[in-house]
Structure 1
Amino acid sequence: MTRTVEVDPARLDRWVEGFGARHDGVTRADGPGTVVLTGGDGATATGERFEHQRIGLVLVRRGGYAVGRDEGGDLLAHTCGTAYVQSRTKKGGWSQQRYARRRGNQADGVLDKVREISLRHLGRGAVDALVLGGDRRMAEQVLEDPRLAHLRDLPQRTLWDLPDPRLVVLQEAARRSRCVRLEISD
C-alpha cells in the first residue's frame, strides 16, 4: 500500500521520530533535496524537499484564479479574483454550439487575465520556483504565453487538488508548496 503525505519542514524531525516508532526504528539516508527513510519492518518513506526562497504560485480554475509570490514563507504579492464561465447546457442543435463557443470565449478571458497578472507578479527573475494548481489544462495554457517562457524552466510543484482559488486557498497552497512530500510504502 502506498500513500503520500505532506510534512511541514519544521515538523519533519518529529514526523521521522513517529515513523520510527510505528515501524520498529528508522534508518535515515537523506540526499540533496531528498529524504529517504527505511523502517525496521521494511516500510519506506521517500520524498523530495521543495526548498526555494522565492516561489511563484499560479492557481486557476473556471470559477476563479489566484496568482502570488511567496518569499521565505510570506505571501508578499498576490491577486485573486472570480470569473464566470457558463456551465454546459443540455439543449441540442445550434444553441449547444453557440453555448460551447461562449464558454470557450469566457475561459479564454480568464486565461488572458491570469497571464497579465502573472507577468506583473512573476516577471523575469522575480521567482526561483513555480507552483501550479487548480485545473491542469488551464494552468498549462497560462504558461503557453511566450512572455511567460521564463517560468517554464523553473523547478515546479503541482497542486491539482485545490478548490476554486481564493486568498485562503492561495495561502494554503503557499504553505503546502514548502512541505516535504513523502511517499510511504508499508
Structure 2
Amino acid sequence: MPERVLTVSPERLGGWLAGFATRHGTTTHRAGPDAVVVEAADGAVASCAVPFPPLEPLDTGAPYGGLLAHTARERRVAVLLVRRGGYAAGVFAGTRLVASKVGSRHVQGRTAAGGQSQQRFARRREKQTREAFEAAADVAARILLPHVADLDAVVTGGDRAAVDHVLADRRLTALAGLRDRAGGLPHLAVPDPKLAVLRATPATFRAVRITLSEPDAEA
C-alpha cells in the first residue's frame, strides 16, 4: 500500500481518527511511547507520531493509549528562528505567544567582483554575519533563558547552520539541550523571521504527524 504523511492539529485529531474508522472499518491500536499505530479492518494503517514524547501516562485503557489527552495538553515551547540577517525568538504557552523579540541586521549579499575587492567584501560580510548571529544569541538569552526551567521543548527554524551557530553560544547550552524534545519535529522551513512567521509556528510544532497507508488511493 502506498504511504503518505500528513499533519493534523490536536483539535482535529479525534475527529480525524473517527473518520479513519468510518472509512476503513473497526480499528485496533498499539500504543508506545513514541507512536500510536491504528490498524483498520480493511488493512489501512495510521501511524501517529507522539508529539513531545514519550506518551505519558501510557494508558492502555484510554482511547488510543491516551494520545488525545496527551496532544491536547498545553505546553510551553520556545521557538528560535534564524536566517542570515534576521532572527525571531518567542515563548509559547499552547498557541499563545507570551514573550517575543524579532530583529534584523544588515548582511550584504554576494558579489561577482574579484581580486582584492572580493577579499574585502568577504571580510566585511563575515563581520556582518558574525554580528548578526551575536545579536540573535543575545536576544535568545534575554527572551528564552528566563523560561528555560518551564520549557517542554525548543523548536528551531530558518537557516540550520545559522541556528547551530547561535545555539553554540555558551549561554544557550540549556536551550540546545531541549532542542530534541518535540518528537523529531523537522527543522522548520520558514521565510525571513518576522513576527507573523513566529506567531504561525504552533500550527506546525503542535501538529501530529501521521504516516498513512491505505488499500486504495482515496484519502
Q: TM-score, normalised by structure 1?
A: 0.86
| Structure number, greater radius of gyration | 2
The partner residue of 2:193 within 138, 145, 165 is 165
The answer on whether the counterparts of 2:39 and 2:45 sit within 8 Å (CA) in structure 1 is: yes
- For residue 109 of structure 1, what is the aligned residue in structure 2? 131
Asked if the contact 1:43–1:185 (Cα under 8 Å) also holds between the matched residues in 2, the reply is: yes
**Correspondence 1:1-186 to 2 at 5 A:** 1-24=2-25, 26-32=27-33, 34-39=35-40, 40-50=42-52, 53-123=75-145, 124-154=148-178, 155-156=181-182, 157-186=185-214
User: Residues 185 and 107 from structure 1, CA distance in 2 versus in 1: closer, same or farther, beyond 3 angstroms?
Assistant: farther
> Greater CA deviation, 84-93 or 150-159?
150-159
Residue 18 of structure 1: CA displacement? Answer: 3.0
Unaligned segments of structure 1, at least 5 residues: none
> Would the alpha carbon gap of residues 27 and 104 (structure 1) be closer, same or farther in structure 2, given more than 3 Å must change?
farther
Aligned AA (1:49): P
Indicate the SS of the match to 2:77: strand
Aligned residues: 186
Q: Matched residues in 2 for 1:122 and 1:77: separation?
A: 8
Q: 1:94 to 1:55 in 2, by over 3 A?
A: same
Q: 1:17 Cα shift?
A: 2.4
The answer for the alignment partner of 2:60 in structure 1 is: none
Write 1 or 2 for the structure with the bigger share of strand.
1
What is the TM-score when the length of structure 2 is the normalising length?
A: 0.75
Tell me the distance in 2 between the aligned counterparts of 1:22 and 1:100: 59
Q: Sequence identity, in percent?
A: 38
- SS of 1:85's equivalent in the other structure is coil
CA pair 45-34 structure 1, distance change in 2 beyond 3 A: closer
Between the aligned partners of 2:89 and 2:6, the Cα distance in structure 1 is 25
Partner deviation per Cα, 1:127-172 (whole Å, 9 max, x = no partner): 2310011111111111101111111221244433111111111011
Instruction: Indicate the RMSD between aligned Cα atoms, in angstroms.
Output: 2.2
